[in-house]
Amino acid sequence: MESELKYRWLPRPEMHGEGCSDSELQGFPTSVESLIRRRGFGSSFIQSDYTELSPWNDLPGADKASRILENAIRENQLILVHGDFDADGITATVTAIRVIRALGGKAEFHVPCRFKEGYGLGQTAVQKSIDIGAGVLVTVDCGITSTEEVTALKKAGIKVVITDHHKPLQILPEADALVDPELTEESNASWRYLSGAGVIHFVLRGLAEKLGFGDIPELEPDLVSIGTVCDMVNLTGDNRILVKRGLEVLRSNPSPGIQALMRASGVKNFEITARDLGFGLGPIINSSGRITHADHAVNLLLETDPRLAEEMASSLAKVNKERRNLDSTVFLQAGELLKKNEAYVAVAASDVWHPGVIGISASRLGRQLNRPVILIAWDGENGRGSARGVQGMPVYPILARAMKEGLLQRFGGHDQAAGLSISKSMYHEFKAFVEAYARSLYREVSSPFLYIDGGLAPENCDIGILQALEKLGPFGEGNPEPIWIIRGVYPVSFRSVGKDNEHLQVSFQYETGVLRGIGFGMGHRTSELNRLLDIAFTLSVDSWRGGDSVQLIIKDIKPAARRLN
């Protein structure tokens, strides 16, 4: 299916912002200066640092939540942190545990089993809270739709603090404190699109302040940065500041658990980027909750013994390898099922897919098809599904309407990513409804495209450009990594590399030198390289050739032309 994908290259729409003066842009390479102007970046964006993070009590509900946790610590009550089994939920859980313990509190955690309990606060956690004598239960990255469970906890005399960033239902849980940016209509607030890890970070900053502590090391957003990038929330506002600061900590002083994860994934701490969080560390952390149990990742990130952390990270890396194999199976099979599907939302289901990896495959297929994808894994007469949206085509509104129509047992998430539960007997009606409703919601299904940020001369693809771009990062959702083009270069050598020859390694000749590049998932395109080419790419440090070399991360190739098409 990958060989059929053809991108249109389009100039990235200009963004409006405060802008920079000519004097503020002095010292930037011309190409980066143009990029700054097109994106509307101002001096406050370029020079922002951790001190400019929004006050913690600007986040509605954070003051009340931190006060409840403060009282629990002062009264020596046990706090149960209830997390989620993805990277955002896992890093949020560890962040809460380590800060509460560092502040003198007693804290334990519960992360539900994806296969036995499913997503969110459930009856197992309610009973566990009672059994261990918890005084407070605090959720991270979940809980905003758990009305019945919160009621049960309250009846048992347990205080409940909900911290989440997912969309609520019409009826809110009657918790002692609710902290969720989705509860506000203040869409322009810097904290509006925090991840689950980001939300609990704000609450914990308030807790530390109330207890008279300053900036303790445990409050650094190193783990928050991982959760933020992996959950694909916008890297603007407070999210960008948190990730920027988190990367600084990860480069200079990674914890034993993170250091072990870096070694297991081949990431070097001194040059770690947001891309490494999303594609290096994040998948290994995620794999535990997808294949085994997220407790393994939580325990690794809490581990302080480097030797034990190495053993745990090695074990998780093996789990991640198994996850990749399962994902490949789902991706190929779902791709065949959807090959001739022209609906606005592509829906497929199977009895043999592993439910822990369908979300990954849905994301990959969504990027290929450039439209939302919903994949469902059956377990008897019931199924668990993962839905992924694409730019301009959110999937959450469709599932919300399907739930209202009685076609789903349960669902939750946000615009671009959601989970669902469904009865097998409702599948065909659900599929037909989704396809019909999507036609009215989306005006057209566009062909896949790449937004191009500008042209870059081959001789300017150097470490100086990367250093200048670093001031505009970290890059991700809402602040995409710049994609450049080079016109009319000739590939002088190339080969397919990696498992099953899935990647493309290539060198391009230009007048005064050679550029080296890697095209992930492009190993099948060697037959296109016997001519002059235009290349769309991002830039990266070439770790194999030292810190002063760069390589092209190839996004697409086309026969040489004179203009964008």
pLDDT, tens only, 511-559: 888 899 999 878 888 888 888 999 999 998 886 665 568 899 999 999 9
Q: Is 136 helix (H, G, I), strand (E, B) or coil?
A: strand
Same domain for 60 and 195, yes or no, is: yes
Residues 6+ apart with CB under 8 A from 204: 66, 95, 96, 99, 100, 219
Note down the domain range covering 504. 2-13+449-559
Same domain for 114 and 211, yes or no, is: yes
CATH number of the domain at 89, please: 3.90.1640.30
Same domain for 74 and 214, yes or no, is: yes
Q: What percent of the chain has a predicted confidence (pLDDT) above 90?
A: 62
Rounded to whole angstroms, how far apart are CA atoms 232 and 240? 12
Of residues 270 and 296, the one with the higher pLDDT is: 296
pLDDT > 90? residue 312: yes
Same domain for 425 and 482, yes or no, is: no
Q: How confident is the model over 116-128, as pLDDT tens digits?
A: 887 889 999 999 9
Residues 303-310: what's their mean pLDDT?
Answer: 96
Residue 59 domain-assigned?
yes
pLDDT > 80? residue 24: no
Same domain for 453 and 540, yes or no, is: yes
Q: What is the pLDDT of residue 182?
A: 94
CATH number of the domain at 387, please: 3.10.310.30
Which among 219-228, 357-366, 431-440, 522-531 has the top mean pLDDT? 219-228
Rounded to whole angstroms, how far apart are CA atoms 340 and 350? 17
**Other CB atoms closer than 10 Å to residue 145's CB: what's the count?**
23
Same domain for 68 and 165, yes or no, is: yes
Same domain for 124 and 200, yes or no, is: yes
> With bands split at pLDDT 50, 70 and 90, how would you rate the model's confidence at 28?
confident
> With bands split at pLDDT 50, 70 and 90, how would you rate the model's confidence at 2?
very low
**Which of the listed residues 186, 220, 254 is the one where a domain comes to its end?**
220
Residues 6+ apart with CB under 8 A from 412: 119, 120, 145, 166, 167, 418, 419
Q: How confident is the model over 181-235, as pLDDT tens digits?
A: 999 988 789 999 999 999 999 999 999 999 999 889 999 999 999 999 998 888 9
Q: Please give the biggest Cα pair distance in the chain.
A: 76
Of residues 371 and 564, the one with the higher pLDDT is: 371
Same domain for 65 and 176, yes or no, is: yes
Same domain for 134 and 159, yes or no, is: yes
**8 A C-beta contact, residue 25 and residue 33:** yes
Q: What is the pLDDT of residue 565?
A: 43
Same domain for 138 and 96, yes or no, is: yes
Residue 344 domain-assigned?
yes
Residue 273 domain-assigned?
no
Q: What is the pLDDT of residue 25?
A: 78
**8 A C-beta contact, residue 351 and residue 378:** yes
Residue 555 domain-assigned?
yes
Residue 250 domain-assigned?
no
Residue 322 domain-assigned?
no
User: What single string gives the DSSP state of each residue in 221-253?
Assistant: SHHHHHHHHHTT---SHHHHHHHHHHHHHHHH-
Residue 277 domain-assigned?
no
CATH number of the domain at 512, please: 2.40.50.460
- Which amino acid, 560? A
**Which of the listed residues 188, 220, 252 is the one where a domain comes to its end?**
220
Residues 147-168: what's their mean pLDDT?
Answer: 96
Same domain for 66 and 212, yes or no, is: yes
Rounded mean pLDDT of the chain?
90
Rounded to whole angstroms, how far apart are CA atoms 251 and 370? 35
**Which of the listed residues 409, 441, 473 is the one where a domain comes to its end?**
441
Residue 309 domain-assigned?
no
pLDDT > 90? residue 144: yes
Residues 437-449: what's their mean pLDDT?
Answer: 74
Q: How confident is the model over 326-340, as pLDDT tens digits?
A: 988 999 999 999 988
Same domain for 140 and 75, yes or no, is: yes
Q: Domain count of the chain?
A: 3
pLDDT > 50? residue 482: yes
